A and B are shown apart, each in its own frame.
Chain A
Amino acid sequence: MPELAVEQVVKRLGGTEVLKGVSLALMRGEVVALLGHSGSGKTTLLRSVAGLETPDAGRITLGDRVVFDAGRGIEVPPEQRGLGFVFQSYALWPNRRVFDTVAYGLILRRAGEDEIRRRVGEVLERLGLAALGDRYPHQLSGGQQQRVALARALVYQPPVLLLDEPLSNLDAKLREEARSWLRQLIRQLNLSALYVTHDQVEAMAVADRVLLLRDGRIEQEGTPQDMYERPSSAVTADFMGTNNRLSGRLTAVQEGRGRLEGEGFGLWGTLFSPIGVGAPATGFIRLERTRLAEGPGENRLAMRLETSLYLGERWEYLLTRGDLRVRAWGRSALPPGDRWVEFPPEDLWLF
């Protein structure tokens, strides 16, 4: 039985449907990332699970308990769902010390004083906050605040942890460290978590499974590898990585490959969705798969290198051929001039 099941949830805000019938299941010990642009409905979905939003249709079940069912008029208020929620802004109460903040959930559950002290101590210890119990939020760094918010949500051992962009308020460097730390913690505690983010790298790093939301619907779901390497739609391909995009028309098909012809170029790629010969098509290729080649060859185009950008750990080349613009990565600075660019057919995905 899934720890959390969301079935056909619809949510309207004003005149627009923010969620258009979303379903998902979260198994015990699993981390699912809800990925999407702002406005895709991912936070609304998370808040609906928590009970902070009332969906207009659908059903939400926690374990064997139905907490929301529009058809049967069931709506369990958020305080009775027993979930943990980590807010994007952390939502730490400015008038409470760390210890009291973390203890609040236990006090509400009428735990004894000794038990509260023990369990809060354990959680603070585990999250590296043991020395900070007497501090107020404004006396903490961003990273510490983030961990206090997490401690508050973990202390009463909720069956499901909901995280709303928990790392987005951290600096870029700190965010990368927190990402691996959080992944490790979730693994160690064997938590079931629903994790909202707009950063596909973060989603892939933290989650066992990724759900890509777009316009209130699930565009695709799968393991991070599935999503990155076998996108089922142009939207997913576009969202999951950094791509070159080539527009044209499909002129020939053979053995799962298709020929994409655009203005001034023709290339073979792999068909990722059924397209008829003669229909418009778009080719996607990841920047890291686009290669500069020594000379002419199969699936290579002569292009002009306009400029090289220094990005620290690599160089980025900007190449043009008529209206076609392509970016590629390499290890060294190259002077402007004519180059050959290879688009390996298995890496050029046609949609």
Chain B
Amino acid sequence: MRAHPVRLAAVAAVAVVVLAPLGLVLYQSLLNAPFFAPGAGLGLAAYRFVLADPDFRGAFATSALIAFGMVGIAMPLGGVLAFLVVRTDLPGRRWMEPLLLVPIFLSPVVLAFGYVVAVGPVGFFSLWLKALLGAVPWNLYSTAGLIVIAGLTHVPHVYLYTASALKSLNPELEEAARTAGAGVWRVALGVSLPLVAPALVFSGVLVFFLGFELFGLPLVLGDPAGILVLTTYLYKLTNLLGTPSYHLMAVVAVSIIAVTLPLVYLQRHLLRTASRYVTVGGKGLAARPLPLGRYRWVALALVLAWLTVTVIVPLSGVALRSVVRTWGEGVRVAEVLTLDHFHELMEYPNLVRGIVNTLLIGTLGGALAVAAYAGLALTSHRWQARGAVLLDYLVMTPRALPGLIAGLAFLWIFLFFKPLTPLRSTLFSLWLAYTVVWVAYGLRLISAALYQVGPELEEAARVAGAGQMRVYRDVTLPLVRFGLLGSWLLIFMIFCREYSTGVYLLGPNTEVIGSLIVSLWGTGALDLIAALSVINVLLIGAGLAVALRLGVRLHA
């Protein structure tokens, strides 16, 4: 195997941007003071302090409990939804799919805020219900409430992988069982379920892993009741001690990564074994949907109920809260309607910058990120050497860093390496962190597009006399133009949605909507949060509308 210098350079570059933040976090965790402190020396003092803290232990247990609870809710529900939409005659299943994926593109902090103002103790729906029933039948600010909301909002992740596994199933496998005399449910349980089990298991691990990364939901929903998870414990630590306690934060970060990194590698392993079951023997024939009979409407009611709870309730809450002057018991919506909050927004230069920056990082930053991912994807395109496997592992590693920690690690990188420090207060710092955090996702999008190009199309150009670079320019890139455009739209939405990565990088000139909402949450400026949230949802909605209009597949 020839090791192409360009490829080696790409691997080296990725290794630096991926391993430097990770290494710095690890190094900082082994110091007994922040790295910039004069007397910082190696030691395990920070570990002793954090591991002995009962709050940390409690947060760890809560994180684990929430992660398990989310799997318990999202896995069965996501699996059922996927089966209903892909394989049955559920009414309206054609237009339902994009709706089911909406929660993936919504910022969790916006969703959480939406739940607070919609079904919190003094939320719109809570108070309307209280007027009817005399009491609010639920308590949002509890671990159980958190688990239910986190579980429901992560159903799309399970749906995504199970549905695509179901779609790639050869319908003849099911038809063979039916002609052999098995009924609809017998086929579903005996044939389809075992074949999509690997995808289901994979998505279960994914949800569990996302449970440990959860930040926006517990920050907003856990705060009033004092419920801490690992990420919010880390976030509290920032403000708790007055002075920067980087060494303690690093220890918390390391303990989160210690859980998430093995899970990321487990996911890679599961994805590979899952592909064993991919039976693309089908001739592209869409299978005849299985008839649900009189359960059709029950099934539809289930799907609509889920959509209502996960999308409609929080979004309507946000929208309504952004146009009322005040809200509480005895207030009538019609009397307090106003657009003042949006005007007020314009009076804060940092909030205006946040909106502009969000747009910039979504459009321009998204385009640059796609260009970087495309360059990386091309260097590893059809590369089958040990280096490609190494690159694969490297690219996956940032997945193990929750956005909050990735942002923190990049902040430290910019502070630690003095020549980089001036960049810290520019959008570049944010762009770099975003791009690294989403590198695995972006590469998957682009590789999927690249693999649509048959190898002979490239080889034909090679033989005709074009060098490798020329082939990319003349054949590969023109053929994946649409795939790149789709990737850019998806990255735009992801970057607009992103909030946790920007939290520690937030400063003058690096404000984005997501991180501003997090910091405003601490000050209780609900009016501004509502207005910012609406703008955020509209931005993402615009991206989503364009993507759907162009027929972009919403997942890699």
Q: Does B454 contact A (CB under 8 A)?
A: yes
CA distance A77 to B465 in the complex (A): 9
Chain B residues within an 8 Å CB radius of A105: 464-465
Given A77-B467, A85-B459, A152-B464: A95 touches B478 (CB 8 Å cut-off): yes
Does the CB pair A91–B457 fall under 8 Å?
yes
Which of A52, A95, A104, A162 touches B464 (beta carbons < 8 Å)?
A: A104
Chain A residue nearest to B464 in the complex (CB): A105
Indicate whether A181 reaches chain B with its CB closer than 8 angstroms.
no
A50 (CB) vs chain B CBs: closest residue: B463
A77-91 residues with Cβ-Cβ distance < 8 A to B are 77-85, 87-89, 91
Residue A108 is within 8 A (CB to CB) of chain B in the complex? yes
Q: A104-B474, A108-B470 are in contact. Are A87 and B462 (CB under 8 A)?
A: no
Distance (whole angstroms) from the CB of A45 to the closest CB of chain B: 15
Q: Which of A104-128 contact B (CB under 8 A)?
A: 104-105, 108-109
Q: Does A156 contact B (CB under 8 A)?
A: yes
Bound-state CA distance A6–B463 (Å) is 18
Give A34-79 interface residues, CB cut-off 8 Å to B.
Answer: 50-52, 54, 77-79
Given known A93-B475, A94-B479, A95-B479, contact A104–B463 (CB-CB < 8 A): no
A87 touches B459 (CB 8 A): yes
Q: Which residues of B contact A94 (CB under 8 A)?
A: 479
Contacts of A82 in B (CB 8 A): 465
Among A80, A93, A105, find the residue whose CB has the most chain B CB atoms closer than 10 A. Answer: A93
Q: Nearest Cβ distance between residue A260 and chain B, in whole angstroms?
A: 44
CA distance A153 to B467 in the complex (A): 16
Cross-chain contact B465 with A109 (CB below 8 angstroms) = yes
B478 in contact with A104 (CB, 8 Å): no
> Contact at B466–A108, with CB atoms within 8 Å?
yes
| B461 interfacial by beta-carbon distance below 8 Å | yes
Indicate with 1 or 0, residue by residue over A132-155, a CB within 8 angstroms of chain B CB atoms: 000000000000000001001100
B462 engages A52 (CB within 8 Å) = yes
**Does B456 count as interface, using CB distance less than 8 angstroms?**
yes
Using known A-B contacts A93-B475, A104-B474, determine if residue A79 contacts B462 with beta carbons closer than 8 Å. yes
Give the chain A neighbours of B525 by CB distance below 8 A.
none
CA distance A172 to B247 in the complex (A): 74
Dominant SS among interface residues on chain B: helix
Contact at A93–B479, with CB atoms within 8 Å? yes
In-complex Cβ contact of A79 among B2, B466, B475, B478 (8 A): B466
In the complex formed, the residue of B with least CB distance to A149 is B460
Chain A neighbourhood of B474, CB < 8 A = 104
Residues of B within 8 A of A92 (CB): 460
Indicate the member of B2, B462, B463, B467 with the most A CB atoms within 10 Å: B463
**Across the interface, which residues of A come within 8 angstroms of B475, CB to CB?**
93
A77 lies within 8 A of B462 (CB):
yes
- A78 CB contact (under 8 Å) in B456, B457, B463: B463
Of B463, B468, B478, the residue contacting A83 (CB under 8 A) is B463
Q: Which residues of B contact A85 (CB under 8 A)?
A: 459-460, 463
Q: Name the residue of chain A whose CB is nearest to the CB of B461.
A: A104
Between A80, A84, A85, A91, the greatest number of chain B beta carbons within 10 A of the residue's beta carbon is seen for A91
Which of B460, B461, B468 is most buried by chain A, counting CB atoms within 10 A of its CB? B460
A152 with B466: CB separation less than 8 A: no
Residues of B within 8 A of A79 (CB): 462-467, 470
Which residue of chain B has the shortest Cβ distance to A84 in the bound complex?
B463
Which B residues from 470 to 496 make CB contacts under 8 A with A?
470, 474-475, 478-479
Assuming the contacts A50-B463, A105-B464, asked whether A91 and B454 have C-beta atoms less than 8 A apart, the reply is yes
Q: Is the CB of A91 within 8 A of B459?
A: yes
CA–CA, A91 to B456, complex, Å?
5
Q: Mark B64-88, 1 if CB is under 8 A from A, else 0.
A: 0000000000000000000000000
How far apart are the CA atoms of A94 and B452 in the complex, in Å? 12
Q: Chain B residues near A84 (CB, 8 Å)?
A: 463
B465 pairs with A156, CB closer than 8 A:
yes
C-alpha gap A51/B463 in the complex (Å): 8
A93 in contact with B467 (CB, 8 Å):
no
B176 to chain A, nearest CB (A): 27
Across-interface contacts of A93 in B (CB, < 8 A): 457, 460-461, 475, 479
Please tell me if the beta carbons of B460 and A87 are within 8 angstroms of each other in the complex: yes
Do A78 and B459 have beta carbons less than 8 Å apart? yes
**Given A93-B479, A94-B479, residue A108 in contact with residue B456 (CB < 8 A):** no
| Identity of the chain A residue whose Cβ is nearest the Cβ of B470 in the assembled complex | A108
B462 contacts across to A, CB distance below 8 A: 51-52, 77-79
Q: How far is the CB of A158 from chain B (nearest CB, A)?
A: 9
Q: Is the CB of A87 within 8 A of B456?
A: yes
Give the docked Cα–Cα distance between A79 and B479 (Å).
20
> When chains A and B are docked, how far (Å) is the Cα of A78 from the Cα of B454?
17
B207 vs chain A, min Cβ distance (A):
36
Chain A residues closer than 8 Å to B457, beta-carbon distance: 91, 93
A104 to B268, CA, bound (A): 41
CA distance A88 to B454 in the complex (A): 12
Partner of B456, one of A77, A89, A104, A109: A89
Q: Which of chain B's residues has its CB closest to A102's CB?
A: B464
Contact in complex: A91, B460 (CB < 8 Å): yes
Q: Which residues of A contact B454 (CB under 8 A)?
A: 89, 91
Q: Which residues of B contact A152 (CB under 8 A)?
A: 460, 464
B456, B462, B465, B468 interface centre (most CB from chain A within 10 Å): B465
Residues of B within 8 A of A95 (CB): 478-479
Considering the chains assembled together, what is the distance between the CA atoms of A83 and B460 in angstroms?
11
**Most chain A C-beta atoms within 10 Å of own C-beta, residue among B454, B462, B466, B474:** B462
Within 8 A of A (CB), among B420-476: 454, 456-457, 459-468, 470, 474-475
Q: How long is the Cα–Cα vector from A230 to B188 in the complex, in angstroms?
A: 59
What CA separation (Å) do A340 and B457 show in the bound complex? 57
CA distance A81 to B459 in the complex (A): 13
- Within the complex, the shortest CB–CB distance from A345 to chain B, in Å, comes to 49
Residues of A with C-beta under 8 A to B460 = 85, 87, 91-93, 149, 152
Residue of A nearest to B467 (CB): A79
* A93, B462: Cα distance in complex, Å: 13
Bound: A104/B454 CA distance, A? 18
Cα A85 to Cα B457 with chains together (Å) = 12
Complex Cα–Cα for A105 and B459 (A):
13
**In whole angstroms, what is the CA distance A95 to B474 when docked?**
10
Contacts of B464 in A (CB 8 A): 79, 104-105, 108, 152-153, 156
Measured CB to CB, the nearest residue on chain A to B478 is A95
State A104–B462 Cα separation when bound (angstroms): 11
Closest Cβ neighbor of A158 among chain B residues: B463
Chain B residues, Cβ within 8 Å of A109: 465
Q: Kindly list chain B residues whose C-beta atoms are within 8 Å of the C-beta of A80.
A: 465
Complex: A153 Cα to B459 Cα, angstroms: 12
Residues of B within 8 Å of A162, CB to CB, are: 463
Q: Across the interface, which residues of A come within 8 angstroms of B465, CB to CB? A: 79-80, 82, 105, 108-109, 156
CA of A81 to CA of B470, assembled, Å: 16
Distance between B343 CB and nearest chain A CB, rounded to angstroms: 49
B122 CB to nearest chain A CB (Å): 58
Q: Give the chain A neighbours of B463 by CB distance below 8 A.
A: 50-52, 78-79, 81, 83-85, 153, 162
In A11-37, which residues have CB < 8 Å from any B CB? none
Q: Shortest Cβ distance from A80 into chain B, in angstroms?
A: 8
> Which chain B residues border A104 with CB–CB below 8 Å?
461, 464, 466, 474
How far, in whole Å, are A104 and B475 apart by their CA atoms in the complex?
Answer: 11
- Name the CB-closest residue of B to A155: B464
Query: Which 4 interchain pairs have the tightest Cβ spacing?
Result: A91-B456, A91-B460, A108-B465, A85-B463
**New contact pairs (14) apart from A77-B467, A93-B460, A95-B479, CB-CB < 8 Å:** A50-B459, A50-B463, A77-B468, A79-B464, A82-B465, A84-B463, A87-B456, A89-B454, A91-B460, A93-B461, A104-B461, A105-B465, A108-B464, A108-B470
> Please, could you name 14 A-B residue pairs with CB atoms under 8 Å apart, sorted by A?
A50-B463, A52-B462, A79-B467, A81-B463, A87-B459, A89-B454, A89-B456, A91-B454, A92-B460, A93-B457, A93-B460, A152-B460, A153-B463, A156-B465
Where the two chains meet, the residues of A that have a C-beta atom closer than 8 Å to any C-beta of B are 50-52, 54, 77-85, 87-89, 91-95, 104-105, 108-109, 149, 152-153, 156, 162
